[in-house]
């Protein structure tokens, strides 16, 4: 099946959304009923600092949370924080004090005043149109605003309504004068996230059973396996350990001199999708196929280009003395293996 299809369905009783591109599963969002959604906002209570790490544990309605960069924060103090990712089992929730109120077209940034338009929108006439819309919609509000790239060509009234909705939510949260520990705003579920972030034109399927009809369930069967087939007969194994994600690249039956380079370049192109669909983050170590040191720079360039198009923040750390390549990836999603277990 050619084209883009967004399927909104459930895995059992759990809400989920899938993005299929030309018949291949490109992205998957699955709810986490037993854990707070990313984007949830709390009024938390500072509990105890962690010496040497510049952080502090907080009390929230959903358990312990950990906040970095705590300058001026004292135990017992109330603070607004937002869940920024998913915690490993038994660890504190990662949170940030820099709140974002994010929707399809607009992001309200209380800590960063000013009106900003996505740099990917380069047409000056369009930027002027969007600036006029944002000025009218913000109407002197003291918060900052970012208009996302999907605003290009979008209906002005829809953009203004989106800004109004996020402004109303921001004011409700920031002007709440209660002092109790409380959940002030729930994070978005998979269906809302799909509407918010998968903005390219696509067919939308909402009927029950859509995952089975469009091959999503078959694709999930392959994601349970560690093996990922690459072009040219090569493969890589993406394996989760307690400490890190290990990726082993194999050349397969190819015994040519360039086999290692070809397998590693195929790994660079396929790795963001493999990690995204499996919901994997943290420390990632690549055990690459043998290749000359002169080919390391082209590999890094290909890897950087591949992750540039991925929405999950990933830092390319570099080479180890043993010749492995290391990355650090934000734990933005719950591991698929834990959800399907």
Which CATH number goes with the domain that contains 62?
2.40.50.140
Residue 318, pLDDT score: 96
Q: Note the pLDDT tens digit of each residue in 24-81.
A: 999 999 998 888 999 999 999 999 998 777 789 999 999 999 998 777 888 999 999 9
Q: What is the pLDDT confidence band of residue 252, given thresholds at 50, 70 and 90?
A: confident
User: Is residue 193 domain-resident?
Assistant: no
Do 114 and 204 belong together in one domain? no
The residue from 75, 96, 117 where one domain ends is: 96
Q: What is d(CA 96, CA 81) in angstroms, rounded to the nearest whole number?
A: 5
Q: What is the pTM of this model?
A: 0.91
Burial class (CB in 10 A: 0-12, 13-18, 19+), 111: exposed
| Cβ pair 314, 329 in contact under 8 A | yes
Do 246 and 331 belong together in one domain? yes
User: Is residue 301 domain-resident?
Assistant: yes
Q: Is 225 helix (H, G, I), strand (E, B) or coil?
A: coil
Say what percent of the chain tops pLDDT 70: 99
Do 166 and 130 belong together in one domain? yes
Residue 139, pLDDT score: 86
Q: What is the mean pLDDT of residues 199-213?
A: 95
Do 248 and 303 belong together in one domain? yes
Do 243 and 212 belong together in one domain? no
Q: What is the mean pLDDT of residues 248-253?
A: 93
State how many domains the chain has. 4
Do 119 and 135 belong together in one domain? yes
Number of neighbours of residue 98 by Cβ within 10 angstroms: 13
User: Is residue 36 domain-resident?
Assistant: no
Which residue in 32, 100, 20, 97 sits closest to 65, CA to CA?
A: 97
Q: What is the mean pLDDT of residues 9-33?
A: 95
Do 119 and 147 belong together in one domain? yes
Q: What is the pLDDT confidence band of residue 18, given thresholds at 50, 70 and 90?
A: very high
Total length of the chain: 341
Do 166 and 251 belong together in one domain? no
Residue 197, pLDDT score: 95
DSSP labels, 308-325: HT-SS-EEEEEE-TTS-E
The residue from 96, 117, 136 where one domain ends is: 96
Q: What is d(CA 32, CA 49) in angstroms, rounded to the nearest whole number?
A: 29
For residues 159-170, one letter each, b for 16 or more C-beta atoms within 10 angstroms of the residue's C-beta and e for the rest, the string is: bbebbebbbebb
Do 205 and 278 belong together in one domain? no
Which residue in 209, 230, 226 sits closest to 278, CA to CA?
A: 226
Q: What is d(CA 229, CA 240) in angstroms, rounded to the nearest whole number?
A: 17
Q: Note the pLDDT tens digit of each residue in 282-292.
A: 999 999 999 99
Q: What is d(CA 95, CA 87) in angstroms, rounded to the nearest whole number?
A: 10
Do 262 and 240 belong together in one domain? yes
Do 176 and 119 belong together in one domain? yes
The contacts of residue 321 (CB under 8 Å, 6+ apart) are: none
* Host domain of residue 242: 224-340
| Cβ pair 18, 25 in contact under 8 A | yes
Q: Note the pLDDT tens digit of each residue in 94-133.
A: 999 999 999 999 999 999 999 999 999 999 999 999 999 9
Q: Note the pLDDT tens digit of each residue in 123-137.
A: 999 999 999 999 999
β-strand partners of 238: 247
| Cβ pair 312, 335 in contact under 8 A | no
- Strand ranges of the sheet holding 314-319, from the earlier edge strand across to the other edge: 227-229, 235-240, 245-250, 282-287, 325-329, 314-319
Average pLDDT, the chain: 94
The alpha carbon of residue 201 and the mean position of all alpha carbons in its chain are separated, in whole angstroms, by 20
Residue 1, pLDDT score: 67
Do 127 and 65 belong together in one domain? no
């Amino acid at each position: 099946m050619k084209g883009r299809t967004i399927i909104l369905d459930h895995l059992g009783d759990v809400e989920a959304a899938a993005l299929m591109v030309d018949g291949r599963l490109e992205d998957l969002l699955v709810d986490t009923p037993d854990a707070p959604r990313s984007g949830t906002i709390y009024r938390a209570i500072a509990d105890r600092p962690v010496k040497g790490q510049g952080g502090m544990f907080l009390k929230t309605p959903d358990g312990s949370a950990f906040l970095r960069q705590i300058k001026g924060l004292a135990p017992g103090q109330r603070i607004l924080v937002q869940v920024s990712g998913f915690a490993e089992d038994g660890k504190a929730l990662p949170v940030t004090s820099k709140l974002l109120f994010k929707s399809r077209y607009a992001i309200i940034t209380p800590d960063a005043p000013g009106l900003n338009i996505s740099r990917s929108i380069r047409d000056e006439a369009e930027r002027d149109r969007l600036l006029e819309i944002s000025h009218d919609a913000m109407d002197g509000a003291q918060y900052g605003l970012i208009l996302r790239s999907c605003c290009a060509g979008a209906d002005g009234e829809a953009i203004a309504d989106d800004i109004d909705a996020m402004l109303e939510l921001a004011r409700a949260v920031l002007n709440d004068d209660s002092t109790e520990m409380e959940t002030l705003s729930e994070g978005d579920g998979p269906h809302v996230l799909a509407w918010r972030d998968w903005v390219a034109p696509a067919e939308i399927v909402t009927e029950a059973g859509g995952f089975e009809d469009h091959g999503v369930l078959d694709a999930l069967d392959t994601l349970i396996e560690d093996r990922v087939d690459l072009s040219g007969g090569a493969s890589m194994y993406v394996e989760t350990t307690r400490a890190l994600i290990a990726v082993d690249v194999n050349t397969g039956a190819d015994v040519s001199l360039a086999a290692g380079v070809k397998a590693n370049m195929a790994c660079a192109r396929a790795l963001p999708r493999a990690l995204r669909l499996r919901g994997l983050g943290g420390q990632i170590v690549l055990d690459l196929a043998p290749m000359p040191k002169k080919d390391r720079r082209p590999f890094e360039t290909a890897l950087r280009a591949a992750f540039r198009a991925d929405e999950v923040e990933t830092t390319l750390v570099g080479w180890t003395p043993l010749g492995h390549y290391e990355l650090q990836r934000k734990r933005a999603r719950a591991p698929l293996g834990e959800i399907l277990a």
